[in-house]
Amino acid sequence: METKKICLLPGDGIGPEIIAEGVKVLDAVGKKYDVAFDYEEALIGGCAIDAVGNPLPEETLDAARASDAVLLAAVGGPKWDTTDSSKPRPEQGLLGIRKQLGLYTNLRPVRIFDALRDASTLKPAVVEGVDLVIVRELTGGLYFGHRERFYDEEGAGAHGGRGQRAVDTLEYREYEIERIARQAFRAAQSRHGRVHSIDKANVLDTSRLWREVVHRVHDEEFPEIELVDMLVDNTAMQLVNNPRQFDVIVTENMFGDILSDEAAQITGSLGMLASASLGDGVGLFEPSHGSAPDIAGRGIANPLAQILSVGMMLQYAFGMVDAANDVTRAVSQVLDEGWRTGDLATSATPADKVMGTVAMGDLVARHIAG
């Protein structure tokens, strides 16, 4: 029997609750396809700060590097929130592991499950048939540029002693744009052949470089793909106005972060959005939402984004396309039968049957078995 090593990073908040359901689904897939999944759990985020004072311990990186794929839940929570930049923060674990594993591509599919048309805050006629993927650059830009906080004597003089200044740097190199553009064009080749490249080229120099490089890669390597440039502010509007126009959206790190949360809302809940972070080595798979501290420990979190991340792991890390399709089909069937976690239930659909995290995981796993 084939064995795949998976590094599990439950993290904080609802993390341990939802990752358990991801594992349940993987085990059901393993049984069906005769594959053994071998799990090693490691610390990341706030729980790692509590245990060893470091949001990304060396042992965690070693476990991730030694695995065939990493399944992460979420990190963070009010317990570790601080504006003191000398204190460790859970998010440093997440940014650190992405950087250390060279995960420069983040894929976030946004599709509407038929049964959830009414769960969106947008009209069913607007969201029906939405099927897009956001390709977000993940290891460059503002989140990784030089940052600094300092006291500015001159500013303090002019503004009554209030002289603090903070600087974040937005920087992109040509090769970083080239490789993410290629990922987007390749994704479009296996989809509907259209890429929207999102930037702010009317203002930012990094965006002008972005646009030049994306067009060069397109013209030289993917001329058959339709390429559309769109400014980020317009994109924010178009996503809620006419989301069906998008097939593949490629954008830099911060724009991608914001637009993908907006796009998630089209689906009705952040709890439905999976993601894959890929580089040239081991990949990392995680839901797009955070650790939802407001509902942690209550058994009501929606595990479907985590479960759909398992589906992406099967597809991208292990090439198990049939198994990946099984996961999506099982989720779809469960929703079609009317089962919902609390975040998905709407008063517009009184037939919704509300259930908790564990029951939802059980049901999906049962549908995988067939």
For residues 143 and 104, is the Cβ–Cβ distance under 8 A?
A: no
343 in catalytic set: no
4 in catalytic set: no
CB 219 to ligand NAD: min, Å: 35
CB 270 to ligand NAD: min, Å: 5
* Closer Cβ to ligand NAD, 135 or 292, answer by number: 292
* Closer Cβ to ligand NAD, 15 or 279, answer by number: 15
**Residues binding ligand NAD (CB under 6 A):** 14, 74-77, 91, 94, 270-271, 289-295, 301-302, 305, 343
CB atoms within 10 A of CB 144: 16
> In whole angstroms, what is the distance from residue 148 CA to residue 166 CA?
6
> In whole angstroms, what is the distance from residue 61 CA to residue 9 CA?
11
Catalytic residue among 199, 257, 343, 352: 257
| Pairing outcome for strands 248-251 and 194-199 | parallel
Q: What is the DSSP letter of 268?
A: T
For residues 282 and 259, is the Cβ–Cβ distance under 8 A?
A: no
Catalytic residue among 68, 131, 229, 261: 261
DSSP string, 51-91: HHS-SS-HHHHHHHHTSSEEEEEE---GGG--S-TTS--HH
Contacts of 344-352 with C-beta under 8 Å, sequence gap 24+, read 344/116, 344/119, 344/268, 344/269, 344/271, 344/272, 344/302, 346/118, 346/119, 348/118, 349/118, 349/119
Catalytic residue among 4, 12, 104, 143: 143
CB 336 to ligand NAD: min, Å: 20
Catalytic residue among 199, 200, 316, 326: 200
* Closer Cβ to ligand NAD, 14 or 308, answer by number: 14
326 in catalytic set: no
For residues 274 and 305, is the Cβ–Cβ distance under 8 A?
A: yes
32 in catalytic set: no
CB 325 to ligand NAD: min, Å: 23
> In whole angstroms, what is the distance from residue 107 CA to residue 188 CA?
12
**Assigned token pair, 368:** 């995988």
Catalytic residue among 38, 168, 205, 233: 233
> In whole angstroms, what is the distance from residue 38 CA to residue 369 CA?
19
CB 74 to ligand NAD: min, Å: 4
* Closer Cβ to ligand NAD, 79 or 216, answer by number: 79
* Closer Cβ to ligand NAD, 279 or 290, answer by number: 290
* Closer Cβ to ligand NAD, 35 or 258, answer by number: 258
CB 252 to ligand NAD: min, Å: 18
For residues 12 and 77, is the Cβ–Cβ distance under 8 A?
A: yes
For residues 334 and 367, is the Cβ–Cβ distance under 8 A?
A: yes
Q: Which residues are catalytic?
A: 143, 200, 233, 257, 261
